[in-house]
Structure 1
Amino acid sequence: MSFKLPKLFLYVLGAILVLNLLQAFFTPLIFDEAYYWHYAKELAWGYFDHPPMVALMIKIGNVFFNGELGVRFVSCLLSIGTFILLWLAIDNPAKKKYIPHFFALVFSMTLLNAYGFFTLPDTPLLFFTALFLLVYKRFIAKPSFILAIFMGIVMAALMYSKYHAVLVIFFVLLSNIKLILNKYAWLAVITSLICYTPHFIWLYEHDFVSIKYHLFERPNAPYNFNKYTLGFLVNLVAIFGLTFPFVYYALFKSKSKDLFTKALLYLTYGVLIFFFISSFNRRVQTQWIIVVSIPMAILVYNYMLENGKIRKWIYRLGIINIVIILFLRVGLIYEPLFPVNYETHGNKAWMKKIQSEAGDNPVVFENSYRNAPMYAFYTGKTSFSLNNIHYRQNQYSIDDSEKAVQHKKILYISKYLKKNKLAFPKKSGSIYYGVFIDDFESFRKLRCIVNDEKFELNDTEHSVTVYNPYKEDIGLSKLKFAIAYLNGSKQFQELIPIDLVPENDKITQLSANDSTLFTFKLPKPKTTNLPKYFKMVISENDLQYGLNSNTIELD
């Protein structure tokens, strides 16, 4: 396997790198990037929604650059690395004659192009998938101790990028089941687990909050064919654009001629089938299937080298794809060129407008892990997302950012406040309203731990432990308790206040870093027909009720 890259390849690669760096510099952040920038303010072995690789990338980038380029610098480098790894994974010597065709294929893949400058967990996922496949190719040709160690490290890096990486590792293993008898393969697995141990420890210390959310707590709408299954099929087209019929034709015609090709096919079909089945249960987001771009780029380009007609069509349509993508990329910066209002548009000015009213006072956004970090990024001021029963938990629910707004005068921003003079219309058309709170106090980390296992809508008395993780006592007079009923899709339906009876009737406060035992009865719902789940929720100082317990199933 030659690692020498042709001059034309390097020239095109260099041009793409310069283009991506310029795009990264001039394009305002999207909301997810701002959220991951919030991650990076305090490096950890894990975060609420994702493993820590994306935060580490931003932290490294900020060493070299400020602003948007600092957030995206490492992504620009990794995307170039992905193209190099894909090229090295292709053995056909004819590839040197068709370098423009290679770039017409890979650079025309919509999300592979976008992740060339956006910083999202999928960016390192794509890079480490390409690296994993290249290392695996060498491993099956000649396994060794050093190669096994390196493959284990790469597998861990995959898992540190995004939890979906488990599908990459699983389907490659499934394609070569004899690996379970290979001592070097076991060495790779053990190395990977050792490298991943810090994240396992982080999950344990945080009560497996990420796993619980993704697998059990995440709300979901009832099945809808158009939004779910048809949406999944549309995504299959969207990730390849105009080249999609020829790309999938090349995939269909590709045959398993060796273990490496077999791994590529298993990985591609495995991911597609997995998410097709998932589409009957939930909406499959486009980026969830983006990892198939890596094995498909190798399979399709190899097929292009052997089939002139397909090569011509993919090349022509790929060029059209690229022209359209580049036009839209300009539109990310220059708004009039983009066909719709996109999330890179108007946020900077909107945050400055809010800051002009807030001054140096912190801003608390109701239910928005998107707006809170965007405000902090573009103003340099303190912000916080106060999450309630109408929303979901996120990184602001578990980190220490709540401390920075306690007992401060804050500007509270919400879509749902009564209309007043502090109105902040967004470019998208939605209007947020603001109100100042002189002495803000929240206790969103209070946890209700329900002790019983069986719950029915009757007069049975149940016990609940309320845990106060704060360093100060909290008076019960500041708190209100309620039951939030959810439907079968875990969507909030109805809120009914309840009284908690303390085990000791002399208790008037929740002691610091301590648990207090109460009893309660489930009230009958007034408007919800046969709720499937419930949560115990708490309102502090008349704020909206929070998210204070796990989702509990009703019998």
Structure 2
Amino acid sequence: MLQKIPKILLVFIALTFVLNIVQSATTELLLDEAYYWYYAQNLAWGYFDHPPMVAWMTWLGSAIFPGELGVRFLSCILYSLNLVFLWQLINHPKKETYTLHFCVLVLAVTLMHAYGFLSLPDTYLLFFVTLFLLAYKHFIKKNTLLNSMLLGLLMAAMMYSKYHGVLVIIFVLFSNTQLIFNKYAWFSVAIALICYVPHLIWMFNHNFISLGYHLSDRPNSPYNFVNFTLGYILNLMALFGLIFPLVYYALLKTKIKELFTKALVYLTYGFIIFFFISSFNRKVQAQWLVAICIPLLLISFNYLMDHPKHRRWIFGLGLANIAILLFLRVWLVTGSVLPIPFETHFNKKWVSFIQKHVGNMPVVFDNSYGNAAIYAFYTGNKSYSLNNTQYRLNQYSIDNSEEAVQHRRILYVSRYLNKGDLQFIGAKGEEYRAKYMDDFESYRKLQCIIPEKSISLKDSAAVILKVYNPYLEDIDLKKLRFGVSFLNRYKRVTEITFIDVKPENPSVLQLKQEDTTYFKINIPKPKTEGTAYLRMGISENGLYLGYNGKNIMLE
């Protein structure tokens, strides 16, 4: 049963809901939010970068309201519900006495502000982490089919929100290893897997492209203590702003007396340790840690109720942090209170500039899924992200968006052009140039396949290259140039070399539709030291070399 909610908390929830609604309607979209809106234009069981929950929620909100408010409406609703369920997770007998402290504590958490209205995968992960913990709390009190079914559904919901949801499940399991012998727990796992089958089928049909990108293909940088490990520690602080010492002190002082508290502690330490280890390999983004906000809020509130001095410090520093965060929320809307450009400030400006010159003409953006999505959102016109070897694959690489701009007069926007017909400054101060193309034609879905998993390039290497043409048309080889991108061990391009290719059958002049053509190629030895991988690409009609092959390890 839901516990009675104090009036002060109801007022707080109502006020924050109104604040989030106003903020949603008056703040321009983040590039990522526009990208997820683009997801929502074609609902599916999966997308290149993330599971589909963010698309589903964005679609639902956009069906209710237009514009930015529609994109973010479900985020505002779920944030308010999240506060209700957080309150239900607290069983302390004094909790109603300190309702105001609870409100201050929640509002002082940095990312709870952001995910109170922004429509991002982490927004929905936060909500379902809270519900999962509430379901788990009931489950450990009473093992029933209904409780285990609910637990399984919420495990699936977390995984549909973001892949990090699996860490929540694992660390809660570590806190209660007896679950391994619990038939109701296994029933929960079965329910979660059954619910997750559609996404697994989507992954299988797309060659597990999402996992491949996140686990191996994502570019990295050399280890840097300041950017990686110190940056990770600063992110842990930034999650809670001025109250961070008090929050982590409460974690250290918390004594585990029952299974639910143990789950909260294990979940928090699990994330902290996991991403601390990860920080020695790559830069850890602050949002990857967002799931610990929920257990730490519960731990902190339970601790402050029993410790008056801690309670006073939380209240005072919390109010100061709230003032800072509210100031930053004003900055997100106007951009005028701080001289720092941000992507929520000037997108409408550059979008309007382009549309004024091109009308309804499609616009192709080089290496920017965010700009392509923002342009489509604010204009309703066709756009496309043309990804090349210097960038990465994304949703535009696997959907049908390329078809909408083929053989049409388009405006091509790029940072690689030395001159163009138009020039403008992007939301973050980047300089772009653009030129008109009368008959745009790209073939970014051509697949370059080298069967070998690794290649030795002591001098040069002769290999067989298979090129699969998935298009429903033959492609003249005269339109294509083949190139090799050499990458360092961090999978960043260091050198590009164009090469001559010869079909095994000399009479072949075209890539036949939905067919594979075999070529003999000679890959030259790279000039750059430290080269660890190569990747094949194709330049069509003079465009920048594409991202058409997989990374092949060099021996």
User: What's the TM-score bracket when you normalise by the shorter of the two chains?
Assistant: over 0.9
Contact 2:344–2:427 (Cα < 8 Å) also in 1: no
Match of 2:492 in 1: 491
TM-score after normalising by structure 2:
0.98
Contact 2:38–2:373 (Cα < 8 Å) also in 1: yes
Letter matched to residue 490 of structure 2 = S
Letter matched to residue 502 of structure 1 = P
CA distance in 1, matches of 2:315, 2:419: 55
How much has 1:217 moved relative to structure 2? Answer: 0.5
CA distance in 2, matches of 1:410, 1:142: 62
Q: How does 1:356-371 map to 2 (within 5 A)?
A: 356-371=356-371
Match of 1:467 in 2: 468
Letter matched to residue 373 of structure 1 = A
Match of 2:231 in 1: 231
How much has 1:459 moved relative to structure 2? Answer: 4.0
CA distance in 2, matches of 1:70, 1:376: 15
Deviates more, 1:424-433 or 1:153-162: 424-433
CA distance in 1, matches of 2:343, 2:453: 44
How much has 1:328 moved relative to structure 2? Answer: 1.2
Q: Deviations over 1:38-78 (max 9, x none)?
A: 00000010000000000000100011100000000000011
CA distance in 2, matches of 1:198, 1:106: 35
How much has 1:427 moved relative to structure 2? Answer: 5.3
Match of 2:19 in 1: 19
Match of 2:509 in 1: 508
Q: Deviations over 1:75-103 (max 9, x none)?
A: 00111121111111010121101111001
Letter matched to residue 435 of structure 1 = K
How much has 1:420 moved relative to structure 2? Answer: 3.9
Letter matched to residue 495 of structure 2 = E
Letter matched to residue 553 of structure 2 = E
Q: Deviations over 1:234-254 (max 9, x none)?
A: 101111000011111111101
CA distance in 2, matches of 1:153, 1:121: 18
Q: Deviations over 1:175-228 (max 9, x none)?
A: 111101000000000000000000000000001110000011100010111100
Letter matched to residue 399 of structure 1 = D
Contact 2:460–2:525 (Cα < 8 Å) also in 1: no
Match of 2:122 in 1: 122
RMSD between superposed Cα atoms in Å: 1.1
- Pick closer, same or farther for the CA change 1:2–1:361 going to 2, 3 Å: closer
Quote the sequence identity (%). Answer: 54
Q: Does 1:477 align with 2:497?
A: no
CA distance in 2, matches of 1:40, 1:443: 25
CA distance in 1, matches of 2:62, 2:308: 46
CA distance in 2, matches of 1:52, 1:371: 21
What stretches of structure 1 of length at least 5 have no aligned partner?
Answer: none
- Pick closer, same or farther for the CA change 1:7–1:440 going to 2, 3 Å: same
CA distance in 2, matches of 1:192, 1:233: 33
Contact 2:50–2:162 (Cα < 8 Å) also in 1: yes
Q: Does 1:533 align with 2:533?
A: yes
CA distance in 1, matches of 2:54, 2:427: 28
Deviates more, 1:514-523 or 1:369-378: 514-523
Deviates more, 1:272-281 or 1:451-460: 451-460
Contact 1:452–1:463 (Cα < 8 Å) also in 2: no
How much has 1:13 moved relative to structure 2? Answer: 0.6
Moved over 4 A (4+): none
Letter matched to residue 524 of structure 2 = P
CA distance in 2, matches of 1:518, 1:425: 43
Q: Deviations over 1:455-485 (max 9, x none)?
A: 1114442222211111111111111111110
Match of 1:29 in 2: 29
Contact 1:332–1:338 (Cα < 8 Å) also in 2: no
CA distance in 2, matches of 1:3, 1:56: 30
SS at 1:156 equivalent: helix
Q: How does 1:369-408 map to 2 (within 5 A)?
A: 369-408=369-408
State the number of aligned residues: 554
CA distance in 2, matches of 1:20, 1:94: 29
Contact 2:421–2:436 (Cα < 8 Å) also in 1: no
CA distance in 1, matches of 2:427, 2:54: 28
CA distance in 1, matches of 2:179, 2:163: 22
Letter matched to residue 202 of structure 1 = W
Contact 1:475–1:508 (Cα < 8 Å) also in 2: yes
Contact 2:343–2:427 (Cα < 8 Å) also in 1: no
Letter matched to residue 503 of structure 1 = E
How much has 1:339 moved relative to structure 2? Answer: 4.7
How much has 1:2 moved relative to structure 2? Answer: 4.2
How much has 1:509 moved relative to structure 2? Answer: 1.1
CA distance in 2, matches of 1:377, 1:318: 37
CA distance in 1, matches of 2:387, 2:426: 21
TM-score after normalising by structure 1:
0.98
Q: How does 1:8-87 map to 2 (within 5 A)?
A: 8-87=8-87
Contact 2:268–2:292 (Cα < 8 Å) also in 1: yes
Contact 2:105–2:314 (Cα < 8 Å) also in 1: yes
Match of 1:348 in 2: 348
Q: Deviations over 1:326-356 (max 9, x none)?
A: 1111121122113511111111011000111
What stretches of structure 2 of length at least 5 have no aligned partner?
Answer: none
CA distance in 2, matches of 1:254, 1:268: 12
